[in-house]
Structure 1
Amino acid sequence: MHAMQYEITLPADYDMGIIRERVAAKGHLLDDFPGLGAKAYLIRERGVDDSPVNQYAPFYLWNTPEGMNSFLWGRGFQGIVDDFGRPEVQHWTGLAFARGAARSAAGAGAKAAIRRRIRIPAGTHLGGLASELAEETARLTRQKGALFAAAAIDPRTWEALHFSVWDHESPKGQGDVFQVLHVSAPERDLLAQGRQW
């Protein structure tokens, strides 16, 4: 599993209705994309859930590198580049994935997502940290309203990531809170459950 996200930060007075309309018109185009475990179409609005910015920030869980590459080098990502410029694409190596107690078909009913990034200090026992992150992923998905969760690490920057999707608008947890506009999850059930090593 590979986790991937890009963030498009928009002006403070940007009409986020434009992004909502874009997702309503185009979100379904990845509903059957090969190699895609799940894509959450995410936004943050300035002043909502403590967000300092307006932002469009889709988050992906890929089953295969071929799927991820097909998206990045294909029409899907080129549309983002054409409309907003080329954003930095962050990616993390998958550690764990779990489906939640609020399991629904393909993420239907998703309302919010939480992304928590953690700097990994030098001297941290990496195997122990990876195990803790995997255990926390499983714990998250036992909470009421959890649809799915994932943990991953970027070994270039030594940043750990927790990402979770919820069926209610104000999930409890630390991190950046996003509104979910749509979830495409053609291969969510093929994402390996549990730790990925």
Structure 2
Amino acid sequence: MTAIAAFLRKTPVIRLQDYFTAGGFTSLAPIDWPKPEPEVVESLIKAVDAMSDDEKQRVVLDAARVAALADEPGQNALQNVVVNRGVFDTLEGANNRSLWVFLNENDRFRLAEEVRYNDERRRGRSWSGFGVDPDLAVKKDPVSLAAFTAAIRERFETPNVHVDIFDRHRVILEGEECELVQVAVYREGRPEDTLGFDANSTCRVGS
């Protein structure tokens, strides 16, 4: 609960109320939201700790995603893709902005996660970059996207493929911005066997 408590204390109560109200959590004890913020946060920490395991785990996972975009690279990624910049830019606090996007523009939140992954990994050893002609038009219409997705399915021999193609920008030297089209591909790989141990310390192979 340490990470959750830190997340709750760093996020404005008004945004936390939005999250827990919209989430439809049935095992969360009633919270007296109009009380002073420190009292609300402390009661919320106890209430979350007493939630059902499934709902508590959902809060843990959501909080981890929101907190991951609350640092400077994460905030830059959100700013790259958020639609309502008029609201986003007026919100105070990184956790506040991150959770607001998570709640109000969830599809853009996921794209921000992709932006951050791309920007952090693109200079790594496992990253392959490709050069194309300047001003090349990237087709994003449904027919072209379906053809591209089908080609990936065929190439990797898997039926489970998802593709996101979206416009974004990146700040480069001296604050200058460049416009980009980012393509994110998710595909299911081949099954793999891994070694694990059960409660009796017996080694077993699982997929």
Considering the TM-score relative to the shorter chain, is it more than 0.5?
A: no
More strand by share: 1
More helix by share: 2
The TM-score normalised by the length of structure 2 is 0.27
Q: Which has the larger radius of gyration?
A: 2
The TM-score normalised by the length of structure 1 is 0.28
